[in-house]
Amino acid sequence: MYRELKVLAVVVFFSLLTYYLVEPYAHHEMHKKVDANGTELVIESHGFTYDGRDDIAEAKRSGNETLVATKIDFWKDVVEISKLEGDVTTGEAVFANCAGCHNGMSMNMGGVIVPNLDHAGRIYDKNYLIALIKDPAMASNVDHKYADTSMHPMGSIKFTVSDNQQIADVVAYMLEKKAEEVTPKEAYEEACVRCHALRYKKMTQLGDTPTFKHKKDALAHEIKVIEEQEKVQAYMGNLPPDLSMIIRARSAHFLETFVANPQGQLPGTSMPRVGLSQEGYDKVKAYLTEAGDPSKKAREELGPWVIGFFIIFTILAYLWKKSMWRDLH
């Protein structure tokens, strides 16, 4: 008995050692992220809050002093605006400036279908929304793509809604009136589908694929999808990948930090930062899990039963062994 316990202790010790020290160390060494100059990047998650610290650190690494100053000023203004008290009624009137483009008509503007904003106050972070209205390219951290950031497809908003109080008002309006319960599917449709198809859910950049009675209609739809994808590709440089399997292909840490700031993981990537709040991210992730791993829930529910079975089985086996040995003595 004593000998067996000693063997068990040794096994447990080495398992814990591997799990807590060796594995994380190997992971860290093998997945090291470095920038173009070989400096190690520390990719942390900030819990989906946006204050520009990653952007400023990136600008500093690039050694461009003017860019550093621009980024610092920009995010300082965002924090100032976030302290203003927004007026929901005035904000509703300001929102008319947005509704010209965000009109729910699924039209492509400058490369992507303009997203629906029905749950914008729920799925996006407040500071991010402020930054987005101040300058969409800066907020999305894709300003490096533009000589003049007002060339971004939503860039003209800088001129139409330029007053800080107006920005605070329209954001207050969204946080209050565009913030109803959102389903995982709605969150995905509003935040990601304009760029990423989801084959397993029969979703393309045009949204859900309807079922067609006639082959001719199905083909006509396919052509529309191809045309839409060509526009997205022209805007992004390449067609964003289908995300059906992403939940299995990548770690949770990668997905979270990539969505929070794509430039942090893939410097120079054309994917914009989307500005999700924690809740918005959780919903999107739930939808991606449902698409890529539909049996996950059932599997997890089965787990405790299997463990329970093993415990009962072990007790029975032990009792049986004891009774057998008693007779032998």
Contacts with ligand HEC by CB under 6 A lie at: 97-98, 100-102, 109-110, 112, 114-115, 117, 120, 124, 132-133, 140, 153-154, 156-157, 161, 170, 191-192, 194-196, 236, 240-241, 243, 246, 255, 258-259, 266, 269-272, 274-276, 284
214 conformational bin, left if phi > 0, alpha if psi -120 to 50, beta if neither: beta
Closest approach of ligand HEC to the CB of residue 73, in Å: 21
User: Please, how many CA atoms are within 13 Å of residue 85, restricted to the half-sphere of its CB?
Assistant: 0
Residue closer to ligand HEC (CB basis): 202 or 248:
248
Residue closer to ligand HEC (CB basis): 138 or 236:
236
- Cβ burial of 328 (10 Å; 0-12, 13-18, 19+) is exposed
Closest approach of ligand HEC to the CB of residue 20, in Å: 28
Residue closer to ligand HEC (CB basis): 68 or 132:
132
Closest approach of ligand HEC to the CB of residue 67, in Å: 21
Residue closer to ligand HEC (CB basis): 154 or 197:
154
Exposure string for 9-43, b = 16+ CB within 10 A, e = fewer = eeeeeeeeeeeeeeeeeeeeeeeeeeeeeeeebeb
Residue closer to ligand HEC (CB basis): 251 or 314:
251
Residue closer to ligand HEC (CB basis): 68 or 71:
71
The span from the CA of 148 to the CA of 222, in Å, is 35
The span from the CA of 148 to the CA of 134, in Å, is 14
Residue 88 and residue 176 in contact, taking contact as beta carbons nearer than 8 Å: yes
Closest approach of ligand HEC to the CB of residue 98, in Å: 3
Closest approach of ligand HEC to the CB of residue 174, in Å: 6
Closest approach of ligand HEC to the CB of residue 272, in Å: 5
Number of Cβ within 10 Å of residue 138's Cβ equals: 22
